[in-house]
Amino acid sequence: MISLPLLVLLGIAGFYVGWNIGANDGGNCIGTSLGAGLISFRRGAVLVAFFLLVGAVLQGDRVVETVGRGIVSEDLPATAVLLVLLSGGLVVSMATFLRIPVSTSQSVVGAVVGVGLSMGANVSDGRIRSIVLSWILCPVMAMLLSAVGYLLLRWVIRRVGWSFRVERIMGWLLLASACYAAYSLGANNAGNIVGPIGNLREVPTRFLLVLSGGAMAIGVITFGRGVAEAIGRGIVPLDLVGALVVQTATGLVIHFYSMIGIPVSTSHTVVGAVIGVGLVRGIQAMGRRKIAEIGIGWIVTPTAAGFLCFLLSSIFVR
C-alpha cells in the first residue's frame, strides 16, 4: 500500500508529464494550420485540447501495458515510478523551453529503461527493439503518405479548379484533420503517463486516463504556442493543401500505432509528414537547420532521460 503523500506526488508528477506532452506535442496538431494562416492559436488549442482528452479516455489504454510492463516486466516501486515521470518530464520541459519538438514517448521510454538498468531488473531487449524500429518507421511512413497525398490532392484541385467553395471545404477539412491528429495523440501518449503509475495498481486505469487527458489539454493551451510555430513555419512554409495532408498523415500513422499499443513520437511523425511535402515542393523549401536541430533532439532525448533516471534511481531507490 502506497502512502497518501507519495500517491499525491505521483499524481503531480503524472500531471507534469501530461502537461509536457500537451505543451510539446499538442502544438504538432495545429502547427501546420498556423503555418497555413487558417486558424489562430487560441482557437486551435481549444480544439486540440478537447480531442486530446477524448482520445486519451477512449483508446489510451492500448499503450498502457507496453509502457507499464512491456519494457520492464517486474513491478517497480513507487519511488522508481516517480523518478521515471520526473526524469521524462524534465527532459521534455527543457526541449519545450528551447522550442524543439522532441518526443515525450522517447523520454519516458528512456527513463523506464534507465530505472530498470539501475535496479538490475529484466529489461526486454525485444520490446525495446520493436519500439525503436517504430520510431524509425513512423516518420518514413508519414513522409511517404504525405508526399503521395500531396501529389494526389494537388492533381484533384487542378482538375476541379480553385474556387471559394473549394477553399472553404479545404478549410473545414483542415480543422477536422487537426482534431483527428489530436485524438490520435491523446490515444497514443496517455500511456506514457498512465503506464508507469498504472503498474502500481493503486488507481483505476480509466480514472488515470481522464487525468492524463486533462493534463495534456492544459499543456497545449498554456504552453503549446512555441512548438506549434516551430512546426508551422520553421521547417516548410505550408499552403492549405500541404497543411491538410500533413495533419491527416500524422493522425493516420499515430492512430495506427495506438491501435497496436506502441508508443511513438508525434514529433517524429509530423516532421516526417512535413518533410514529405517539402520533398514534393523542392528540397530548397525545407529548413534544413531546423530539421538538424530536431534530429539531434531525437537522439539526445531518450539518452538524457535514461541517464538522468539511472543516476537518480541509483541514489534514491533501494
233 band by pLDDT with thresholds 50, 70 and 90: low
By the 8 A CB rule, do 146 and 245 touch? yes
CA proximity to 236, closest of 277, 207, 193:
277
CA 267 – CA 264 distance, rounded (Å): 9
User: What's the pLDDT score for residue 135?
Assistant: 87
76 burial (CB, 10 Å; 0-12 / 13-18 / 19+) is: buried
Nearest to 52 by CA among 193, 214, 198: 214
Give the mean pLDDT of 243-264.
92
> In the predicted model, is pLDDT for residue 252 greater than 80?
yes
pLDDT at 234: 56
Name the residue among 93, 96, 90 with its Cα closest to residue 111. 90
What per-residue confidence (pLDDT) applies to 193? 82
Residue 42: all three cell numbers together: 487560441
Contact 277, 32 (CB under 8 A): no
Stronger pLDDT, 248 or 299, i.e. the higher one = 248
Average of per-residue pLDDT across 252-279: 88
DSSP code, position 284: G
Over residues 291-318, the pLDDT tens digits come to 676 677 778 888 999 999 999 999 888 6
DSSP three-state, residue 123: strand
How does 226-243 read in b/e, with b if 16+ C-beta sit within 10 Å?
bbbbbbbbbbbbbbbbbb
pTM: 0.86
* pLDDT at site 158: 92
pLDDT band at 185 (very low <50, low <70, confident <90, very high): very high
Q: DSSP for 198-210?
A: HTT-SS-HHHHHH
